[in-house]
Structure 1
Amino acid sequence: MESSSNHPNTALAGVKVLDLSRVLAGPWATQILADLGAEVFKIENPKGGDDTRVWGPPFVDDEVNNRRDAAYYTCANRNKESVCIDLSKPDGAELIKRLAAEADILVENFKVGGLKKYGLDYDSIKEVNPRIVYCSVTGFSQSGPYAHRPGYDFLLQGMGGLMSITGNSDEGEPLKAGVAVCDLFTGMYAAVAILAALNHQRVTGEGQHLDCSLMASQVAMLANQGASFLIGGQVPKQMGNKHPSVVPYQVFPVADGHVIITCGNDRQFAAMCKEIAPPGFAEDPRFATNEMRILNRDALESEIINFLSCFTRSEILMLLENCGVPAGPINSISDVFDDPQVQEMGMRIDLDRKDGQKIPTVAFPVQMSATPAAYLKAPPTLGADTAEVLERRLNLSKREISELRSAGVLG
């Protein structure tokens, strides 16, 4: 398979990815690979494609083709080619197997064992391509008592412990995060594991099967909260915007709203106190060290709220910046994209579809000096690249493609 990439300076130029995943975790991983230069073929069911194409509003309206794709779909499918193949049909499964035979990576998020009946499971694909890095994304892994269950981000935020430490303990109902973070964690871990396995493949010629689950990813992302339980034995609780290990590190009210103040060490705390508190406050034995501030959290919080009550948001943020104390506003999403730092980093990327329709997307967040991310293709319409890819990759003739369409194998 010869790469069609016209951006050879990307880190993954020439790498070929067969993406059988949909929704968010799998597509997030493959979009990362695509941004880094890999050629990604997104295999979609002709009857509607990726579930998230209809997860709206809002929608991107395509008046020319009378199609509507949800913004949710566009967030994770940049730089890919959409190929509509019905893998439930033998001819469709055979086409996918032929594409897999020449691919470096395959990503799928079917239910455990779901691809075996089509001959597209790891063992079957390994027979035609022993070098392939085959990544399976599931809710609960390939084995264990929950392996058969479908996995959705919301469920795993709850089952994986995140919701037990999110939100305010006095407000009753536990809260999930405002973004599908468990899916995103899993997509990130999948991308890292794929790149590690790809390096192993390049060194040894050996492929492997990657078992990447939302459950394991969420448990790993408990980070310091998980470590605190394992070492200290105490079960972390919901603390609202307060930090379990650093004080003050939270939201505070000011005269015209709220600000975030994060004193990560005793020096920063002393610098803040010098600007807002009476002389000697930072040396008070109750507050002089972070350990003591944790023990006297409530008393300190009351004092700081009193000190800040006479400041506006802009006043306190400027004051704290000048004295080296980390602080910031609570921005709306609109504020984020208007922020001069976000604009300087180029975090909005507008891409044109083949019909000229412009799709705004959010950039890959890492600046790479030698092999920067490339933005070559807008999130594609359903089946936009089916004929082109099959002609280019499998040497199918227009007649063969037409016959397969008539048989319902292609969209």
Structure 2
Amino acid sequence: MEATAQRAAPLRGIKVLDLSRVLAGPLAGQVLGDLGADVVKVERPGQGDDTRSWGPPYLNNASGEHRDAAAYFLCANRNKRSVTIDMAQPEGQALIRQLALEADVVLENFKLGGLARYGLDAPSLLALNPRLVYCSITGFGQDGPYAARAGYDFLIQGMGGLMSVTGAAEGEPGAGPQKVGVALTDVMTGLYATIAIQAALAERARSGLGQHVDLALLDVQIAGLANQASNYLAGGVLPGRMGNSHPNIVPYQDFPTADGDMILAIGNDGQFAKFCAVAGHPEWSADERFATNPQRVANRVVLIRQLRQVTITRDTADWIAALEAAGVPCGPINRIDQVFADPHVRARGLRIEVEHPTLGAVPLVANPMRLAASPVDYRLAPPTLGQHTDEVLREWLRLDEAQLAGLRQRAIL
């Protein structure tokens, strides 16, 4: 196949002013940066994004110092330039307004009304720059009875229903609601914010006008309930915790093996028949209790008990080799070190390294979007605090050395 001609990253030329911190907002900024946007991250002088100190673990430099390089910060802040500005001072607010005049996008995740006192809220900045796409990320949105509340991922996983369907079933060991092992609501919100921002930019190309984008963690979490929400809305079925089982598909869960565990993800009756043949029990697929998925769901307890008596007889690797050869979806339950050692993960290049000014080669997780002609662009490692202050203010605002020195003397930068 002829190689695709490479073009510039899709968002090259778009300027993003990132006023966000922690995870949801910074992740959105990182994705926009990966897609080619010039993302300027505004941080507090001397402190910066809270996650710079959220460790250990930290990534140390050659002298064993980590400064502001917590692993948490590194996960969501590549392809950005860091500028320090004291937003609490009127002169700092004026600088940010000037940057917003040059920007295409403002991204922020302050509490409701938190930026209004600085004149940096959506109405204020859209009045100055009507072409601006201003994206606000909050826990509960810009309106509604909970709008003024602070929102945190763990809290939202509980309020938004995710924890009610996560964890072992009632009566099983360790039963009780569980949060997901990563801040999944924050991650989903960052991705939805990225989609919404790009949609608003596309609409601006037609109308010539920007708009305010309102992203709420609670909204996103409820949208992320997917089939579980639909099961309730359409069928009146109140989903509950089922451990690793699936509410609508059987067998679709973990099973014990002779040396550990494996996952079966059988999605149709044909795959079930193939599994039964490999397992040495072809009669199961002809049994009226198990022949079709609705029947397997209805007789879940009996079937799973029988399957477990068989899966325990062979090693995980043996099962996976035999089932993959038969076209039955299955896999191991990997630790994260095993994930990055997996030959397919290595072949897909999901571990990357980006050169950092003080830390050397920083290991990061690759962006999973594969654009054949205009690929993501890993230009910058997560920045040191204020690393690009002079560079950006010279470039975006055309400030000279005397002006920069004066701002530093007045503790604005």
Give the TM-score, by structure 2 length.
0.96
After superposition, what is the alpha-carbon deviation per residue over 1:248-268, rounded to whole angstroms, capped at 9, x for unaligned? Answer: 000000111000001100000
Aligned to 2:399: 396
Q: Secondary structure at the match of 2:164?
A: helix
Aligned to 1:262: 265
Which of residues 371, 387, 409 is equivalent to 1:406?
Answer: 409
Q: Secondary structure at the match of 1:392?
A: helix
Q: Count residues with an aligned counterpart.
A: 404
User: Using a 3 Å threshold, how does the CA distance of structure 1 residues 121 and 305 change in structure 2: closer, same or farther?
Assistant: same
Q: Aligned equivalents of 2:102 and 2:146: distance in 1?
A: 33
Letter in 1 for 2:24: A
Q: Aligned equivalents of 2:126 and 2:7: distance in 1?
A: 28
**Contact 1:254 1:313 (8 Å CA) reproduced:** yes
- What is the Cα deviation at residue 347 of structure 1? 0.6
Aligned to 1:154: 154
Aligned to 2:55: 56
User: Using a 3 Å threshold, how does the CA distance of structure 1 residues 65 and 326 change in structure 2: closer, same or farther?
Assistant: closer
- What is the Cα deviation at residue 356 of structure 1? 6.0
- What is the Cα deviation at residue 393 of structure 1? 1.3
Aligned to 2:32: 33
Q: Aligned equivalents of 1:102 and 1:279: distance in 2?
A: 68
After superposition, what is the alpha-carbon deviation per residue over 1:319-345, rounded to whole angstroms, capped at 9, x for unaligned? Answer: 100000000000000000101111111
Which of residues 373, 382, 386 is equivalent to 1:383?
Answer: 386
Letter in 2 for 1:371: S
Letter in 2 for 1:156: I
Q: Secondary structure at the match of 2:154?
A: helix
Letter in 2 for 1:326: P
Q: Aligned equivalents of 1:388 and 1:206: distance in 2?
A: 29
**Contact 2:102 2:396 (8 Å CA) reproduced:** no
List gaps (5 residues or longer) in structure 2.
Answer: 1-5
Matched, 1:47 2:50: no
Q: Secondary structure at the match of 2:176?
A: coil
List gaps (5 residues or longer) in structure 1.
Answer: 1-6
Aligned to 1:245: 248
Q: Percent identity?
A: 50
Structure 1 segment 47-86 matched on structure 2, within 5 A: 47-62=46-61, 63=63, 67-86=67-86
Q: Secondary structure at the match of 2:411?
A: coil
User: Using a 3 Å threshold, how does the CA distance of structure 1 residues 369 and 279 change in structure 2: closer, same or farther?
Assistant: closer
**Contact 2:54 2:73 (8 Å CA) reproduced:** yes
Aligned to 1:223: 226
After superposition, what is the alpha-carbon deviation per residue over 1:208-241, rounded to whole angstroms, capped at 9, x for unaligned? Answer: 0000010000000000000000011121000000
Q: Aligned equivalents of 2:205 and 2:292: distance in 1?
A: 51
- What is the Cα deviation at residue 68 of structure 1? 3.2
Q: Secondary structure at the match of 2:200?
A: helix
Structure 1 segment 6-405 matched on structure 2, within 5 A: 9-62=8-61, 63=63, 67-169=67-169, 170=172, 171-355=174-358, 357-405=360-408
Q: Aligned equivalents of 1:45 and 1:162: distance in 2?
A: 34
User: Using a 3 Å threshold, how does the CA distance of structure 1 residues 267 and 391 change in structure 2: closer, same or farther?
Assistant: same
**Contact 1:157 1:163 (8 Å CA) reproduced:** yes
User: Using a 3 Å threshold, how does the CA distance of structure 1 residues 349 and 66 change in structure 2: closer, same or farther?
Assistant: closer
Q: Which runs of 4+ in 1 moved over 6 A?
A: none
After superposition, what is the alpha-carbon deviation per residue over 1:17-67, rounded to whole angstroms, capped at 9, x for unaligned? Answer: 000000000011111100000000000011310010011100122449872
Relative to structure 2, which stretch is displaced further, 254-263 or 307-316?
A: 307-316
Letter in 1 for 2:365: V
Give RMSD over aligned pairs.
1.3
- What is the Cα deviation at residue 355 of structure 1? 3.8
Relative to structure 2, which stretch is displaced further, 38-47 or 274-283?
A: 274-283
Q: Aligned equivalents of 1:38 and 1:279: distance in 2?
A: 56
Relative to structure 2, which stretch is displaced further, 87-96 or 348-357?
A: 348-357
Q: Secondary structure at the match of 2:278?
A: helix
**Contact 1:162 1:176 (8 Å CA) reproduced:** yes
- What is the Cα deviation at residue 74 of structure 1? 0.3
**Contact 1:61 1:68 (8 Å CA) reproduced:** no
- What is the Cα deviation at residue 134 of structure 1? 0.2
Q: Secondary structure at the match of 1:37?
A: coil
